[in-house]
Amino acid sequence: MKKQWSILRGLLIVGSLLAAGLLWQAQRSVAAPAAPVLLNGAGATFPYPIYSKWFDEYHKLHPDIQINYQSIGSGGGIRQVLAGTVDFGATDGPMTDEQLQDYKGKLGHDILHFPTVLGADVPTYNIPGFSGQLKFTPEALAGIFLGKITRWNDPAIASVNPGVNLPGNDIVVVHRSDGSGTTYVWVDYLCKVSEEWRTKVGRGTSVNWPVGLGGKGNEGVAGLVKQTPNSVGYVELIYAIQNKMPYGTVRNSAGNFINADLASVTAAAAGAAKEMPEDFRVSITNAPGKNAYPISSFTWLLVPATIADGAKRTTITDFLHWMLTGGQNLAEPLAYARLPKEVVSKEVKAISRIR
């Protein structure tokens, strides 16, 4: 008995010494020669793969700078930016006018949108026995997500996919359970192509879904679709590619079934590039153009127009410059399209608005 007690006591002492030592080591390893600059950002999962690559690369170039980005969904990015708990946000659903007013009222200055890359939402599915590429019409997608089209062999899907043996199984719809810009892009598109969707459900980063399971983040939706037979969900293109999941083509406003890739996403942005508004908030879903992919979108970083901390301000502006030049080169290997030249030059000018 006494022996057990002294063993426990010894273990506790050794354990706490070890813990103290580890903590000390950890603190020292982080204390860089120059005062480290730490930025915290949160938001969209849509661009998470490219952002995490960027922040990792940037940290390699500038070891004293750490930009910690958490993908909690665009809704989260907007909310945390409004609460002032993060240094910058990220969203693929641009902030509404009310949200901009709200921000100005709460924090006393404006918040700026900076487009970073172009991406696409794709309908990814898991049909046992079929791994090819399905064609989807806008009516089919709206019907599936409204819960009106319930089986895979429904005529709305089968009629444009002749020769494909679609099973009669029930469709399992998967959507986002968190506030999401990917959702915003998807429902923005559905609002434009389906009057019923527009009046019944509407657009937002979180909506009242008529049917389906909820997954957390693009990662969660991809995970659910991958594990659930007969399911369909919407994810950002890179998530489908990285997880080797099949995704469908979508018919655009010109009547062509387009596969989401760099060319078709860039084509979607072509019109908007020339007429980009000053605040960069624009929707490019269902864009005109015969090769445009209809569910494309810009994605934005949300940066306050006034940053009191000098080091943080310099870091952010430097990062934005890098992002618009060297950073853009890293986008294409991850299946994100680069920003059009016109947008880049407009943005470079806009960076000077950060005081």
Partner 1 sequence: MASTAVMVEGAPRPGRVRAFLLRLRSGDEVAHLITLVFASAILLITVLLVFELYRNSALSRERFGWHFLTTRTWDPVFENFGALPFIFGTVVTSAVGLLLAIPLGVGAAIFLAELAPPRISDALAFTIELLAAVPSVIYGLLAIFTLVPLLRTVVQPFLKKHLGFIPLFQGPNYGVGLLAAGIILAIMIVPFIISISREVLIAVPVEQREAALALGATRWESTWKVVVPYARAGILGSIFLAMARALGETMAVTMVIGNDPKITSSLFAPGYSIAAVIANEFTEATSDLYIHALIELGLVLFVLTIILNGLARLLILATQRKGTAHP
Partner 2 sequence: MNYRMAWRKSVNAAMLSLTGLCTLLTVSVLFFILGYLVWNGAGAINWDFFTKLPKPVGETGGGMANAIVGSAKLLLLAALTGVPIGFMGGVYLAEFGGKTFSFLVRYTTDLLNGVPSIVMGIFAYTMVVLPMKHFSTLAGGLALGVMMIPIAVRSTEEFLRTVPSSLREGALALGASKWKAIATVVIPAALRGILTGIVLDLARVAGETAPLLFTAFNNRFWSPGWNQPTASLPVMIFTYAIAPYEDWHRQAWAAGLVLLGLVLLANITARVVLARKLSSVAG
First-to-last CA distance in the chain? 68
In our burial notation (b when 16+ CB lie closer than 10 A, e otherwise), range 21-41 reads: eeeeeeeeeeeeeeeebebeb
203 binds, among partner 1, partner 2, none (CB under 5 to 8 A by kind): partner 1
Phi, psi of 214 (to 5 degrees): -110, 130
- Contact flags string 171-210 toward partner 2, x per CB under 8 A: ----------------------------------------
Regarding 292 and contact with partner 2 (CB under 8 A), the answer is: no
As a residue count, the chain comes to 355
285 binds, among partner 2, partner 1, none (CB under 5 to 8 A by kind): none
Stretch of 37-45, 130-138, 162-170, 284-292 lying at the interface with partner 2 (CB under 8 A): 37-45
Contacts of 218 (CB under 8 A, 6+ apart): 45, 46, 48, 71, 180, 182, 235, 236, 239
Regarding 11 and contact with partner 2 (CB under 8 A), the answer is: yes
Sole binder of partner 1 in the list 161, 194, 205, 249 (CB under 8 A): 205
Q: Which is nearer to partner 1, 29 or 227 (CB)?
A: 227
56 binds, among partner 1, partner 2, none (CB under 5 to 8 A by kind): partner 2
Stretch of 44-52, 158-166, 205-213, 340-348 lying at the interface with partner 2 (CB under 8 A): 44-52
32 HSE (CA, 13 A, CB side): 11
Q: Considering the complex, what minimum distance in angstroms separates the CB of residue 308 from partner 1?
A: 24
Regarding 82 and contact with partner 1 (CB under 8 A), the answer is: yes
- Going from the C-alpha of 264 to that of each of 99, 169, 288, the distances in angstroms are 31, 32, 11
Q: Which is nearer to partner 1, 107 or 344 (CB)?
A: 107
In our burial notation (b when 16+ CB lie closer than 10 A, e otherwise), range 117-135 reads: bbbbbbbbbbbeebeeebb
Q: Which is nearer to partner 1, 44 or 238 (CB)?
A: 44
266 binds, among partner 1, partner 2, none (CB under 5 to 8 A by kind): none
User: What distance in Å separates the CA atoms of residue 289 and residue 243, rounded to the nearest whole number?
Assistant: 30
User: What distance in Å separates the CA atoms of residue 288 and residue 290, rounded to the nearest whole number?
Assistant: 7
Residue 216's CB is within 10 A of a number of other CB atoms, namely: 16
User: What distance in Å separates the CA atoms of residue 262 and residue 72, rounded to the nearest whole number?
Assistant: 26
For every residue of 60-114, DSSP letters joined together read HHSTTEEEEEEE--HHHHHHHHHHT-SSEEEESSPPPHHHHHHHHHHHSS-EEEE
Sole binder of partner 1 in the list 155, 202, 326, 333 (CB under 8 A): 202
Contacts of 126 (CB under 8 A, 6+ apart): 225, 226, 228, 229, 230, 231, 232, 245, 246
Regarding 47 and contact with partner 1 (CB under 8 A), the answer is: no
Sole binder of partner 1 in the list 47, 123, 143, 215 (CB under 8 A): 215
Stretch of 30-38, 173-181, 265-273, 341-349 lying at the interface with partner 1 (CB under 8 A): 173-181
User: What distance in Å separates the CA atoms of residue 92 and residue 182, rounded to the nearest whole number?
Assistant: 6
- Contact flags string 73-112 toward partner 2, x per CB under 8 A: ----------xxxx--------------------------
User: What distance in Å separates the CA atoms of residue 106 and residue 71, rounded to the nearest whole number?
Assistant: 24
Residue 201's CB is within 10 A of a number of other CB atoms, namely: 19
Q: Which is nearer to partner 1, 94 or 340 (CB)?
A: 94
206 binds, among partner 2, partner 1, none (CB under 5 to 8 A by kind): partner 1
Regarding 153 and contact with partner 2 (CB under 8 A), the answer is: no
Binding residues vs partner 1 (CB under 8 A): 42, 72-73, 75-76, 78-80, 82, 99, 170, 172, 177-179, 201-209, 212-216, 224, 227-228
Q: Residues interacting with partner 2, by CB under 8 A?
A: 1, 4-5, 8, 11-12, 19, 22-23, 26-27, 29-31, 36, 38, 40, 42, 48-49, 52-53, 55-56, 59, 66, 68-70, 83-86, 215-217, 219-220, 222-223, 226, 238-239, 242-243, 334
